[in-house]
Structure 1
């Protein structure tokens, strides 16, 4: 079926005028240079500069005859930022990273201040009770190593 409107009139209604394009580009340019987008772009930069971009850090648990050995890779983290918390059969490794950056002009007037706080934690469940008095931890060259001795129960002989 053919429309009663001539084809040239249909096309004229859909064409955009150059002024409309100019307004769209001006709006897009304003949006890119406004704070929300700049903040978003800055967060992307921070995401790629973060040592733990996925929000977690790698942890490996091994077992030998006498111990559980937990190793966590924490590059760029200082020992003071690490906290270990022990529950009956769980170990939680927490990291807190607080950064503050202030930019001043030549008259010592602050024109930009940025504060960021990052908290990450991993909880490892073990199939045994943990005796916190026997747990040992060391941190060297970005590698946290935690040694948890296996606590063996008493073996009971069954009589006939």
Structure 2
């Protein structure tokens, strides 16, 4: 029986294990990048209401104020974050130079639950939290009576 094992190639020798480890590493890293991509596309948001206003809080860690853009149309609020990254690698000894530039955008559209005033909204950004406050629209609610027929 020992003679048969010596005749068959050893499928689990060091070189084969190295190849398997390389494949595992490749797929592990790829999955991490896919996971990171999907995690970054969402902006967590909470909406709070009081008697006088509607407050939207967006959680934007590792973002600067200059990267944020806020737009509103009707009762829709859009929060957009533009992220630019410039990467440069130089190695004089190896005569190697690599430069890459990437741009990514994340955005979140929030439907505001109540009519809000067209003006007098305010926004602040502190500690990675964007806070937008809209005063409620002061329109009166008209009640319509239903007649019996």
Quick check: TM above 0.5?
yes
Determine which of 18, 26, 29 is the counterpart of 2:9. Answer: 18
Partner of 2:111: 125
1:3-39: per-residue Cα shift (whole Å, max 9, x none)?
A: xxxxx9xxx7xx9923444463354356468xxx28x
Which structure has the larger Rg? 1
RMSD, aligned α-carbons: 3.8
Partner of 2:65: 79
TM-score between both structures, scaled by the size of structure 1: 0.66
Q: 1:83 to 1:16 in 2, by over 3 A?
A: farther
State the distance in 2 between where 1:64 and 1:99 align: 39
Partner of 1:44: 32
Q: 1:146 to 1:94 in 2, by over 3 A?
A: same
Q: State yes or no: 1:28 paired with 2:12.
A: no
Contact 1:90 1:130 in 2 (8 A): no
Q: Once the 2 structures are TM-superposed, how far is the Cα of residue 57 of structure 1 from its aligned partner? A: 2.8
Q: Larger relative CO (CA 8 A, sep 6+): 1 or 2?
A: 2
Contact 1:96 1:120 in 2 (8 A): yes
Any gaps of 5 or more consecutive residues in structure 1? 1-7
State the distance in 2 between where 1:108 and 1:151 align: 65
Q: Once the 2 structures are TM-superposed, how far is the Cα of residue 59 of structure 1 from its aligned partner? A: 1.4
Partner of 2:128: 142
State the distance in 1 between where 2:24 and 2:52 align: 59
Q: State yes or no: 1:57 paired with 2:43.
A: yes
Q: Once the 2 structures are TM-superposed, how far is the Cα of residue 144 of structure 1 from its aligned partner? A: 0.9
Any gaps of 5 or more consecutive residues in structure 2? 145-149
